[in-house]
Amino acid sequence: MERNRLARQIIDTCLEMTRLGLNQGTAGNVSVRYQGGLLITPTGIPADC
C-alpha cells in the first residue's frame, strides 16, 4: 500500500477513535509499520486538528 493512503487511514482512524470517545484531547497514538519503519501520529496534537 502506498504511504499517502496509509497516512490517510491513520488520520481516519484517529478521527473515528475520537468520535467514539476512545481518545480524549492528545491521548494516544496510532501507528502502522511501513517499509521497515513506522508511520505514527505526533504526540501532543489533537486528532481533529
Q: What is the pTM of this model?
A: 0.79
Whole-number pLDDT of residue 2: 93
Q: Measuring CA to CA, which residue among 43, 46, 26, 35 is closest to residue 1?
A: 35
Whole-number pLDDT of residue 47: 74
Amino acid at 29: N
DSSP the chain: --HHHHHHHHHHHHHHHHHTTS--TT----EEEETTEEEEPPTTS-TT-
Look-up of cell digits 477513535: 17
Whole-number pLDDT of residue 22: 87
Whole-number pLDDT of residue 38: 94
- Locate 49 and state its grid cell: 486538528
Structure confidence by residue, pLDDT tens digits, 1-49? 799 999 999 999 988 988 998 888 787 789 999 999 999 998 888 877 6
